[in-house]
Amino acid sequence: MTPYDDSPAQAVSTASRTPGPSLIDGFGRAVTYLRVSVTDRCDLRCVYCMAEHMTFLPKAQVLTLEELDRLASAFVGLGVRKLRLTGGEPLVRKGFMALVASLSRHLRSGALDELTLTTNGSQLERYAADLAGHGVRRVNVSLDTLKPDLFRALTRGGDVARVIAGIDAAQAEGMAVKINTVALRHDNADEIPALIQWAHARGCDITLIETMPLGEVDHDRTDQFLSLKDVRQDLSAFWTLKDIPDATGGPARYVRVAETGGRLGLITPLSNHFCDTCNRVRLTCTGTLHTCLGRDDASDLRAVIRSGANDAELIDAIFAAISSKPKGHDFQIAASRPAVARHMSTTGG
């Protein structure tokens, strides 16, 4: 029995494999981190992420919970140690908590170090206790402003009070919360120091993200781009920022703000190259594996599993995809069209 219904389970066995990273790409990088988008749908419509009237994918194209479990578990069996569930908004996917409950077996077996999620926080108050109960110890919550009117405008209808209640609930359950803030030249540039202070005062790390040219939205994105190099320089005028060595293998660089004592991450995919140490790949909610956020490389793992592939054939397909992981990305904000046509909500942030 699967935890979802009474169809036969097809999880890849992790028991017979030797532990340790075995997914090594063509440039010698070990892939140990998988992000999985569990849905393209969302209860918000952030202006930099989605168009106001989005056409979402037909249900048949989206992986079932069993398929998501099978694919994620196959990667765990191949040495992935960290799994981040994202979307769209993961907490609006029907049956999401059953998926978390099922995947938590890899935490208990020791195959996985961390099961985590990125959420807009709007449903977090309701689900925080369940998440903590299934071993989720950290969540990333996206929050671009504390101003109710601006939040409503940026998310096209969201309520910032619900997000803050969600953060409160997660922290009350003992989870570490990291705030993700997209830096927007015209909307929140002035509020960034206040957001950092607010996050650090409540014991949260905060990471600033440059807007990335992913997917068509309703406006000119070059106009919103705010270089974090400039933000860092501005913050340095009144704060002491000390570099902290980074061990995440991701695009974030971290600094400690001496005055607040908190950690600040800066994700600068456009103005900084982070590809040499990249340890991650992304699986979309349609089962497409992207081995680089900034390129259009893609492997259709849904086709593999829906063709009836057995575990060995699935593993072969994963190895083939990983071996062609590109050396680096291809972003250019000045380009009039997105470097990558897919939306962040499909790929998973």
Among the listed residues 209, 226, 235, 278, the single contact to ligand SAM using CB under 6 A: 209
Site residues for ligand SF4, window 71-90 (CB under 6 A)?
A: 87-89
Q: Which parts are annotated binding residues for [4Fe-4S] cluster? A: 42, 46, 49, 275, 278, 292
* Piece of the chain touching ligand SAM by CB under 6 A; list 7-15, 66-74, 124-132, 209-217: 209-217
- CB under 8 A, 24+ apart: contacts of 10-14: 10/66, 10/70, 10/305, 10/311, 11/69, 11/70, 11/73, 12/70, 12/73, 12/74, 12/77, 12/311, 12/314, 12/315, 13/77, 13/311, 14/73, 14/76, 14/77, 14/106, 14/109, 14/111
Site residues for ligand SF4, window 110-129 (CB under 6 A)?
A: 120
Residue 215 binding ligand SF4, by CB under 6 A: no
Q: Work out what residue 188 binds among ligand SF4, ligand SAM, none; the CB cut-off runs from 5 to 8 Å by kind.
A: none
Nearer to ligand SF4, 111 or 124 (CB): 124
Q: Work out what residue 160 binds among ligand SF4, ligand SAM, none; the CB cut-off runs from 5 to 8 Å by kind.
A: none
Residues 199, 193: Cα–Cα separation, whole Å: 10
Residue 182 binding ligand SAM, by CB under 6 A: yes
- The site for ligand SAM, by CB under 6 A, has a size of 19
Residues 180, 200: Cα–Cα separation, whole Å: 13
Side chain identity at residue 161, one-letter code: A
Provide, rounded to whole angstroms, the least separation between the CB of residue 120 and ligand SAM. Answer: 4
Contacts of 73 (CB under 8 A, 6+ apart): 11, 12, 14, 103, 106
What are the respective helix, strand and coil percentages of the chain, to the nearest 5? 35, 20, 50
* Owner of token pair 């594996």: 289
Q: Which residue is nearest to ligand SAM (CB)?
A: 349
Site residues for ligand SAM, window 113-172 (CB under 6 A)?
A: 118-120, 142
Residues 59, 41: Cα–Cα separation, whole Å: 11
Residue 89 binding ligand SAM, by CB under 6 A: yes
Q: Which parts are annotated binding residues? A: 35, 42, 46, 48-49, 84, 88, 118, 142, 178, 212, 275, 278, 280-282, 292
Residue 62 binding ligand SF4, by CB under 6 A: no
Residue 42 binding ligand SF4, by CB under 6 A: yes
Count Cβ atoms within 10 A of the Cβ of residue 128 and give its class: 0-12 exposed, 13-18 middle, 19 or more buried.
buried
* Piece of the chain touching ligand SF4 by CB under 6 A; list 40-48, 94-102, 209-217, 291-299: 40-48
Residues 87, 315: Cα–Cα separation, whole Å: 24
Side chain identity at residue 83, one-letter code: L
Provide, rounded to whole angstroms, the least separation between the CB of residue 211 and ligand SAM. Answer: 4
Residue 349 binding ligand SAM, by CB under 6 A: yes
Residue 294 binding ligand SF4, by CB under 6 A: no
- DSSP H helical ranges for the chain: 65-77, 96-103, 105-109, 124-133, 148-155, 160-172, 192-201, 228-236, 301-306, 311-323, 344-347
Residues 31, 281: Cα–Cα separation, whole Å: 7
Q: Work out what residue 214 binds among ligand SAM, ligand SF4, none; the CB cut-off runs from 5 to 8 Å by kind.
A: ligand SAM
Residues that bind ligand SAM (CB under 6 A): 42, 48-49, 86-87, 89, 118-120, 142, 180, 182, 209, 211-212, 214, 344-345, 349
Residues that bind ligand SF4 (CB under 6 A): 42, 44-46, 49-50, 87-89, 120, 142, 345
